[in-house]
Structure 1
Amino acid sequence: MHVHESSSDFTRRDYSRADRITLTGVGSVGYHGVLNTEKQTGQPFFVDITMFTDFAQAASTDDVAHTVNYAEVAEVIREIVTGDSLDLIETLAENIAQTVLERFPLDAVELTVHKPNAPIEVTFADVAVTIFRENHAR
């Protein structure tokens, strides 16, 4: 899937009013990082994802078939985090966003990848990257 200007009725500003499903703190051990020790020992990664989709039909029918099953999204996130080793969490975020947009009927996603045990020599609480991607196939 290639990311480019949206042909939908939404603009980035309009997403503030859109229906959304938020899944927070999906955690798995991954082997991502520039250092060899990160690739060998692994560390926890946590993903927060906001999925933009119109769920009016799901709400009116009370049927999960008309919405995005967030349990399935969590499984996809875990599959990617525990999958092939990458150097950058930016690449990990992009891979998750693109895969979720390809597999689920969403207008857009915003997601954050947290790497709280990054090998930094100073005290810190978290390192994270956040991206926003639209689904231009919809």
Structure 2
Amino acid sequence: MDCLHVRGIRAYGYIGVFPEEQVLGQWFEVDLTLWLDLAPAGQSDRLDQTYDYSTMIPRVQHLIQTSRVKLVETLAETIAADILEQASLHQVRVMLIKRPSIPNFDGSIAVDITRPRGSD
């Protein structure tokens, strides 16, 4: 199966276990992998034969900006479900990255989930 990768979707959100994360917020970044058949688009050169990812980017940003959950796992599941609901994809991979405010830690954490399209 073919894949379409969308990297570096960024938005500011208020997700976190700690009260200051829910008040002050922080930046989140999302990388997506979308599984679909790209052959029809490759042969026809027509946008309607593939997935128009430009419509998904603002949706993901909106979910980050408006979700009020504690866990990044919950946000990743929400993003995956929304994308699968809106698009004809075989499956989606969501990698959600944040840089938590933890003393003496300058790194990032990432949640990486892959979800198949449910049976209709």
TM-score, normalising length from structure 2? Answer: 0.95
Measured in 1, the distance between the counterparts of 2:72 and 2:92 equals 17
The offset of 1:66, in angstroms, is 1.2
Equivalent residues in 2 for 1:28-43, closer than 5 Å: 28-43=11-26
Rounded to whole Å, the distance in 2 between the matches of 1:42 and 1:54 is: 38
**CA drift at 1:23:** 0.5
Alignment gaps of 5+ in structure 1: 1-17
- Give the equivalent residue in structure 1 for 2:101: 119
| Paired residues of 2:67 and 2:75 also in contact (CA < 8 A) | no
Stretches of structure 2 lacking an aligned partner (at least 5 in a row)? none
- Structure 1, residues 38-84: CA drift from partner, whole Å, max 9, x if none? 11111100000000000111111111111111111111111110112
Q: Which residue of 1 aligns with 2:40?
A: 57
Q: Percent identity?
A: 31
Equivalent position of 2:119 in the other structure:
137
Over 3 Å off, 4+ runs: none
The corresponding residue for 1:89 is: 72
Find the counterpart in structure 1 of residue 7 from structure 2.
Answer: 24
Q: How many residues align?
A: 120
- Between the aligned partners of 1:48 and 1:84, the Cα distance in structure 2 is 18
Report the TM-score, using the length of structure 1 for normalisation: 0.83
3-state SS in 2 of match to 1:20: strand
Tell me, in whole angstroms, the C-alpha distance in 1 between the residues paired with 2:119 and 2:64.
Answer: 25
One-letter code of the match for 1:119? S
The structure in which a higher percent of residues are strand is 2
Q: Considering only aligned residues, what root-mean-square deviation do their CA atoms show, in Å? A: 1.1
